[in-house]
Amino acid sequence: MKLLYRIGCASLLSLGLISSAQAETPRAAWHAQIGHGYSQLAAATSELEKTADSYCAAPSPASMQALKEQWLSAFSAWQAVRFVGFGPIEENTRAWKFQFWPDPKNLTASKVDYWLNGDKDITADAISRDSVAIQGFPAVEYLLYDERIIDTDKALPAERSCNLLTAISSNLDANANALNTDWTALEERYLSVEDYDNGTLQSAMQSLELLADWRLAAPIGERGNGKPNPYVADAWRSGQSLNTVHASLQGLSDYFVPGLTLLLAENDQMTLAEQFNQQLNKTLDHFEQLPADIAPLMETEEGRKSLKALLEDVNTTKTMLTGPVSAALSVVRGFNSSDGD
């Protein structure tokens, strides 16, 4: 499906956008594509819930493998829509309920351990009322991968661990479905309120800034005091920290770029649209040569070089969006929640 979107976007460009722009407004494109991303997420969490149930009903190396794969698939579906920071995702701290990040003090571990070591009934409802750190994909990842647990008697398929796994998965699915439904319900308002252009653009900008500065530069030591901090990266427990970055950039390409291209076309900025597309695709091309995780690359000079090269292209993409694209579309940037420390 991702591939389809990529092709769709490319053909839109090559065929010339003017006729498409008349048929579809930028916000209509954004609403449809983000909606597509949300429905993919809901489908993936539903599958995760089923896979978790199957695993706990009949634990085996094969069903564990299926579970790990489905976890990654669902987490990647979340990464693809992570750039959307407005609308229903803002309600009830939903974003943190998919992924509490960053988590420097390993709250994920504290909260999972608390549930495993206690004797409270583990239900999806109880999980939905507790800390955001117990509710998200990282909590499932902790159960599946963390050394603190997989070599102990609490490792899956221990009863409480299985209960926790299925409860978290079920809650994740409920949240993804609610998000999807609420996004669909937002359609009329999203299409009619012009300021959503600005909101959508700002959201993409901020997510690209976070991706460049925190999800990539900080783990590889290209930010702050220069010490690599692998724990800022996503999915360090499962060794998927580059796959998640890839999924987020692909999500921007699939779900954000088509609407952006239409908007730039409306503003007679097709050259800029093409430049941005090319730059993003150039950035995505890096992943063909890269492994799933940052960690092994940090071991060698060559690996570190390839990470820096990726970062450079991510930064160029970021700067293009926050600079010329933003200026061409007169994006107004106000305070955002990352203006603190």
Partner 1 sequence: MAVRFPLQALALAISTSFLLTACSDENKTAQPDAPEQAATAPSESAEKPTTDSTVSPEAVVSHYADLAHATFEDALITAKALDAATDALIENPTAENLAAAKQAWLAARVPYQQSEVFRFGNAVIDDWEGQLNAWPLDEGLIDYVKAEGYQHALGNDGANANIIANTELNIGGETMDLSTLTPDLLASLNEVGGSEANVATGYHAIEFLLWGQDMHGFAAGAGERPASDYAKGDDCTNGHCDRRAAYLDAVTDLLVTDLQWMVGQWSADTEGNYRAEFVAIEPQVAYQKMLFGMGSLSLGELAGERMKVALEANSYEDEHDCFSDNTHNSHYYNGKGIQNVYTGTYLRVDGTELTGASLSDLVANNDAQLDQKLTAELDSTMAALGEMKTRAEASENPVKFDMMIAPDNAEGAKVINDAIAALVEQTGSIEKVAAIVGVDSLQPDDAGHSF
CB of 314 to partner 1, least distance (A): 16
Q: For partner 1, give the closer residue by CB, 121 or 268.
A: 121
CB of 226 to partner 1, least distance (A): 7
**Displacement of CA 175 from its chain's centroid (Å):** 15
Q: What letter does residue 205 receive in the DSSP assignment? A: H
Q: For partner 1, give the closer residue by CB, 21 or 235.
A: 235
At residue 219, the 3 state secondary structure works out as: coil
252 neighbors 10 (Cβ within 8 angstroms): no
CB of 296 to partner 1, least distance (A): 17
CB of 99 to partner 1, least distance (A): 9
Q: For partner 1, give the closer residue by CB, 20 or 106.
A: 106
Alpha carbon distance 219, 233 (integer Å): 6
Radius of gyration of the chain (CA): 20
E-assigned strand segments in 3-134: none
Q: For partner 1, give the closer residue by CB, 105 or 305.
A: 105
CB of 168 to partner 1, least distance (A): 15
Q: Where on the chain is the footprint of partner 1 (CB under 8 A)?
A: 85-87, 90-93, 95-96, 100, 102-107, 110-111, 128-133, 193, 195-196, 198-199, 202-203, 206-207, 210, 214, 218, 224-227, 229-232, 332-341
CB of 288 to partner 1, least distance (A): 28
CA atoms within 13 A on the CB side of 165: 30
Place of tokens 């608390």: 114
CB of 68 to partner 1, least distance (A): 22
Provide the terminal-to-terminal Cα distance of the chain, rounded to the nearest Å: 39
Q: For partner 1, give the closer residue by CB, 60 or 338.
A: 338
Distances (CA, A) of 95 to 22, 31, 88: 34, 18, 10
136 neighbors 106 (Cβ within 8 angstroms): no
Q: What's the angle, vertex CA 150, arms to CA 145 and CA 154, rounded to 5?
A: 130
Q: For partner 1, give the closer residue by CB, 121 or 341.
A: 341
Q: For partner 1, give the closer residue by CB, 13 or 217.
A: 217
CB of 130 to partner 1, least distance (A): 5
Report the phi/psi class of residue 239: left, alpha or beta, with left for phi > 0 and alpha for psi in -120 to 50.
left
Q: For partner 1, give the closer residue by CB, 85 or 258.
A: 85
* Exposed/middle/buried for residue 49 (C-beta within 10 Å: 0-12, 13-18, 19+): buried
E-assigned strand segments in the chain: none
Reference 208, options 311, 324, 310, 83; nearest CA is 83
Alpha carbon distance 254, 266 (integer Å): 20
